Structure formats: structure tokens, C-alpha cells
Amino acid sequence: MEVIEARSIFSPATGFIRRGGFDFTCNPYLGCTFGCTYCYAMFLPQNRRPKEDWGKWFAAKQNAIELAHKEAPKLAGKAVYISSVTDPYMSVERTLRLTRAILEAIAPATPRLLVQTRGPLVVRDADILARFERVRVNISIPTDSENVRMTFEPKAPLLERRWQAAVELQSAGIPVGICVTPMLPIEDSSRFAKKLLAFRPDVLVLQDFHDSRGGFGADTGPAARKLLTAGSWSTDKYRDLLQRLRMEMTVYEGEAGFFPP
């Protein structure tokens, strides 16, 4: 673990996050220990580490809490996205509690908050999330297969733990989005579709595992593309599942699904 000093904890939103309607992003950490093979964050300018080290390091912004209290007034009436280039609920958050403290600091000021995570630890903060005027927790569940998860996200939480977190948040009255982004190979499309429909997320987002041709996308590393081509998954299978789900509920695709609550 590294410790760094941040100049600001809330940055003006850019790219698809800005286009989606957010005003600010917040990243309590730099880097991410989940180390997903397709993560675009490993290619960002602030990541000066070798790409092959992605998932093996993170840095905690030691002044994050102080900055959150200092900068909270500028969030009045604004929409905030936590987190855009890290996961706010990595395992280390259990002890460092930076994300929780930031939420406590901004709850009185921020009317609209979206938390993006694949970390079941988010359930711990349901009490604070309930204080926001409008809030949604987006949980990333890109496949139904633990074998696939182990291939593409070997250090990320088990899929069933993510589903359980989604259920617990929903039971606590917290709106939940499910992000199948990017959709990794699916073992049983019919069963996966039924599970998604039975849960009835407030927002359901799908995205194909595509070739972004060198840009930031769901496939930014050649290692991830190589893993995908080794299997039998295809864009046609993605489209079939997308259409099946759209027969039963609203499904957003790609960037269109990331908008403030």
C-alpha cells in the first residue's frame, strides 16, 4: 500500500460520465486490487506503473476525508459518481474506511449519488446511503460463471456475494443497478436472464465485450481479448441475450446506462 496526498477529492466529470449527467467524480483510492483484465483504468495517464502490475497495487489518498469536508459545499445541487477509476469497496476499505467517511461528509450537501462497485462491502454503508436524497448503487456482475470470473477477474469478489449484496441493499430500500458491463462469456443464458428479470434492478445495463481500437473501452488490454477469443462467446450471443431481456424490461446499453439517480 502507498499513501499519497491528493489536491482534490472531487474532480469535474469528463467523458461518458459527464455526458451521462454527472458533475463530479470521486476516487478515494488510486489503482485497484481487483485487477480485472479488461479495466480501462490501467491505461489512464495517472497510472505510471507497468500495465502488467495492474491489480497488484493501490494508493490511499490520506487526506481524502479532510478534502471531502472542505469541498462538500461545491457539491450542492450536483450529481456525484463514486468511483470512476478505482473500486471504492476494495477489501482495504474495510479498515481504512475512506469511502464511508467521504459519504458521511457529503451526505448533507449532495442530492444525487451513484456508487459503482463490485465489492459486497458496500452493504456496510447502507445506513449512510439512505441519507441521500437520490441514490443508486450499481453492482458489476458481468457473467454467471465462476470459471469465467476467475479467468477475467481472479481477485474480484465471488459472483454470489455480489448478488447477495444487491439483495441486501434492495431490502434496505437502496435502489440497485446491475451492470453486465462488459458481458463476459455466459454459461447459461436462459438461467442468467431469468435471474436478472427476477431481481428487477432499478437499472439494468449491458455492454458487449468489444474492440475499442486503442481507446478506453471494455477490452483495453490484448490479454483480455486473447482470453475472450479462447472461448466460444460471440457478439451474436450477446445480442440474443440483450433482446431476450428487452422483451421483459428496459435495458440500457453501454454508456447510455450510466446516469444519475
Q: Which residue has the higher pLDDT, 35 or 254?
A: 254
For residue 36, the model assigns a pLDDT of 85
Angle at 171 between CA 166 and CA 99, to 5 degrees: 55
Distance of CA 223 to the CA centre of its chain: 21
pTM for the full model? 0.93
Strands 203-206 and 176-180: parallel
pLDDT on residue 44: 66
Residue 10 has pLDDT above 60, yes or no: yes
CATH 1.10.8.10 assigned to 2-257: no
Residues 93-136: pLDDT tens digits?
999 999 999 999 999 999 999 999 999 999 999 999 999 999 99
In degrees, rounded to 5, the angle at the alpha carbon of residue 99 between the alpha carbons of residues 181 and 96 is 120
Please say if the pLDDT value at position 189 is more than 60: yes
Cell of 21: 449527467
pLDDT winner (highest mean) among 41-45, 200-204, 255-259: 200-204
Burial class of 122 by CB neighbour count within 10 A (0 to 12, 13 to 18, 19+): buried
Share of the chain above pLDDT 70, in %: 88
Q: Give the residues across from 25 on adjacent strands.
A: 11, 81
19 vs 23: CA distance, rounded Å: 9
DSSP state of 34: S
- Taking residues 21-28, report their average pLDDT: 97
The domain segmentation of the chain, as residue ranges, is 2-257
Q: Which three cell numbers stand for residue 223?
A: 490479454
Q: To which residue does cell 460463471 refer?
A: 145
Residue pLDDT, tens place only, 209-247: 866 665 556 655 666 777 777 667 888 999 999 999 999
Angle, helices 189-199/235-246, rounded to nearest 10 degrees = 40
DSSP reduced 3-state for 229: helix
